[in-house]
Amino acid sequence: MVAWQAFGLVFVAGLVTAVATGLGALPFFLVGEVSRRLNVALWGVASGIMLTASALGLVPEGLAHGEVTTVVVGLLVGVALVALAHRLLDDHEFDPGEYETADVRQLALILGVLTVHSFPEGIAIGVSFGALNLDAGVVPPLAVAMTVAISVHNIPEGVAISIPLREMGVSPWRMVGWSIFSSLPQPLGAVLAFAFVRVAAPLLPVGFGFAAGAMVALVVVEFVPEALETGKPLARNGYDVFAGGTALGGAGMWLLLVAV
């Protein structure tokens, strides 16, 4: 029974991060659009959170469970997988507006793309729960920090998804729904990663390294380009706004890691 409770807790954590993506649509209940400046700042906050969570959370945790070489192998595999996924997604780039008009086959393909896109975040959550022990009432502090981090990181993704839907005249509530839909693979990824590190406990350091590498790669290949593209019309191309957001997100994540 406890085992099922553990998997249930991990699934709920992943579901919380998916639901958080819907928060990106909430501003559209009040305004017609989200400013470029705010959007760039949010991408910066997300980047700071992910980089700090990797460097100060996942990597040290991996080193606490294994050798440096083992963690490095995981890091390299995580980076390589995200880079490969990004390359594949370049051939199947979807406008979020297509969600509204997709037929069954298109929807299945969109789900596949979203799964590839969202899995690294889900894996990071699942791995962070690796030391979960409900019998002793132990929830790893890193798991709490990672759940919060991924949830906050998902908000600007929700904004990015909602903007084209808004231009199509989609209602705010449907924008919330489609934003959450885009992150639904995360609970599944979390459960699968948790099951893997529980069954193959010696590979836990690899898992931590993998999650860290995947998150850093996501920042490099997705967050930064998205922020810089959005910030082009701003003064100094929005670099200062992005840097400020990154510093804020990094500081917030550091405080969270210290607190838990």
DSSP letters spanning 151-211: HHHHHHHHHHHHHHHHHTT--HHHHHHHHHHHTTHHHHHHHHHHHHHHHTGGGHHHHHHHH
pTM of the predicted model over 0.85: no
Residue carrying the six token digits 């599944």: 188
Closest listed residue to residue 165, CA positions, set 44, 18, 32: 32
Per-residue model confidence as pLDDT tens digits over 7-62 = 889 999 999 999 998 898 888 887 767 788 888 888 898 899 889 988 988 898 88
Every domain of the chain and the residues it spans:
3-91+102-259
Per-residue model confidence as pLDDT tens digits over 157-191 = 888 778 777 777 778 888 888 888 888 888 988 89
CB 221 within 8 A of CB 16: no
